[in-house]
């Protein structure tokens, strides 16, 4: 079995699997929507991850009517959301570790100061 990111499929095979023309795949590459690996002989090689990405592109264009510029925006936003979700997960793990540990490292500690202001009102003897 091949690794999910390992490039193993040639363009003609991917075109048959997805029932699209090879020129469509080349167009997606020109639009920077996909970036298949290349063999030493410059033959495009697609991984299973590439195929999943192409399936997403096809869903967006065929089912939702999104043009390729819109697909690019959607894919970039999707990638950014995944990065943010990973970062959030890491931060949550770090917070959990901090809560379970007995002390907080100085560079991670938070020190707050409280200020108390008092207001004093002086009465003037104006009516004298």
Domain annotation for the chain: domains and CATH numbers: 9-100 (1.10.1660.10)
- Strand order of the β-sheet with 44-46 is 9-10, 44-46, 37-38
Q: What is the pLDDT of residue 120?
A: 67
Answer yes or no: is pLDDT of 14 > 60.
Answer: yes
Answer yes or no: is pLDDT of 128 > 60.
Answer: no
Q: What is the pLDDT of residue 2?
A: 58
Name the pTM for this structure.
Answer: 0.68
Tell me the sheet residues that pair with 45: 10, 37
pLDDT band at 100 (very low <50, low <70, confident <90, very high): confident
Q: What is the pLDDT of residue 109?
A: 67
């Amino acid at each position: 079995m091949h690794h999910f990111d390992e490039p193993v499929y040639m363009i003609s095979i991917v075109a048959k699997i997805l029932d699209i023309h090879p020129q469509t795949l080349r167009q997606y590459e020109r639009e920077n929507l996909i970036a298949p690996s290349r063999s030493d002989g410059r033959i495009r090689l697609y991984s299973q991850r590439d195929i999943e990405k192409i399936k997403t592109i096809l869903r967006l264009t065929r089912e939702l009517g999104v043009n390729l510029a819109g697909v690019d925006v959607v894919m970039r936003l999707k990638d950014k959301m995944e990065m943010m979700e990973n970062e959030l997960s890491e931060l949550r793990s770090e917070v959990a570790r901090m809560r379970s540990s007995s002390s907080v490292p100085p560079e991670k500690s938070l020190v707050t100061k409280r200020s108390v202001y008092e207001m004093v009102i002086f009465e003037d003897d104006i009516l004298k």
